[in-house]
Amino acid sequence: MQKGQVRKAISGFYYVYVDGQTYQTRGRGNFRVKNMAPLIGDFVDFESDNLTEGVLLDIYPRKNELVRPTVANVDCGVIVMSAIEPDFSSYLVDRFLVYLEANNISPIIYVTKIDLLDETAKADMLEYKTYYESIGYKMILSDYPAGASSLEALVTNIGKGMAVFMGQSGAGKSTLLNQLMPELDLQTGEISTSLGRGRHTTRHVELHPVGDALIADTPGFSTIDLIDIEAVDLPSFFPDFEALRDQCRFGGCMHINEPNCRVKEAVASGEVAPYRYEHYLQFHEEIVGRKPMYIKKNKR
């Protein structure tokens, strides 16, 4: 028996990597009985006498799992945003950041099309970079024309982890993946001028080594919902709020209506970016306003 990682799955076959070799395997029947299915990124036990006839035996507990792309044990989420065409959206950045924090995934913000900005807009983008990096996030601005140094910075910051790409439609996720992995030749989505966003260009998921990193070869998703996040947990997904939590008058402060709230004081003074607090209120309203989901029980 060996332990490896599933890096590709096609037509019921799971391709498991271990010690420089890739084994073609099938899942055991009891996976279906248990309503389990191996995911890309899973660590598994398997047995095989050769490279083409292996059997998966067990799946190790997952650190996390995502639906789009369908992968498990993700270490890093690269949020790809456009500086312009479409315009940079701090709202979308914060929405992705909350999603990644909730799934125990380290974010990297990568901004494309910096070369299209005028000097005033570049200064504004640098302010975003300064703030996000002050609260612990890495934000990389693309360079032009080759993008070599920003790509190198991206791979370096992913490190030895497994990364997925997500972010704004039309921001160039597929283009960025093609730059990192030219052999993919992913189809890039054209910008829809009527909708202001790009077409989705998806394919089956596979993990590819890039430097010391593993990168999922799909552009991922451009929108996310917060369906699995509870309102009481939301403040903990804002590190700039968490740093001040113990200075609030009340334990468990939600930073909305409570008196002597240190976070609200910091927003008023500019210590916490007002747009971050505005997005927090929007997310909170969305979460508390969603309809509860009921599970219909079978009649006996």
Tally the domains of the chain.
Answer: 3
Q: Is 175 marked as a binding-site residue?
A: yes
**Is the domain of 206 the same as that of 107?**
yes
Q: Is 159 marked as a binding-site residue?
A: no
88-139 tens-digit pLDDT? 999 999 999 999 999 999 999 999 999 999 999 999 999 999 999 999 999 9
Assigned domain for 164 exists: yes
pTM of the complete model = 0.87
177-236 tens-digit pLDDT? 999 988 777 655 433 333 333 343 445 789 999 999 999 988 888 888 888 899 999 999
Residue 141 sits in a domain whose CATH number is 3.40.50.300
Residue 52 sits in a domain whose CATH number is 2.40.50.140
| More confident call, 255 vs 194 | 255
State the amino acid at position 173 in one-letter form. K
Domain boundary among 156, 183, 216: 216
Q: Is 172 marked as a binding-site residue?
A: yes
Q: Is 173 marked as a binding-site residue?
A: yes
Give the domain range for residue 23. 2-61
In angstroms, the CA 87 to CA 196 distance is: 9
Q: Is 89 marked as a binding-site residue?
A: no
Domain boundary among 216, 245, 267: 216
In angstroms, the CA 148 to CA 89 distance is: 25
**Which contiguous run of DSSP H or E holds residue 78?**
strand 76-82
CA Rg value for the chain: 21
**Is the domain of 209 the same as that of 89?**
yes
Three-state DSSP string of 27-44: ECHHHHHCCCCCCECCEE
Q: Is 171 marked as a binding-site residue?
A: yes
User: Cα angle at 81 between 8 and 121, to 5 degrees?
Assistant: 160
Q: Is 255 marked as a binding-site residue?
A: yes
Q: Is 76 marked as a binding-site residue?
A: no
Q: Is 168 marked as a binding-site residue?
A: yes
DSSP state of 292: P
Q: Is 77 marked as a binding-site residue?
A: no
Whether cis (ω within 30° of 0) applies to the bond prior to 259 is no
Residue 149 has a CB neighbour count (10 Å cut-off) of 11
Assigned domain for 224 exists: no
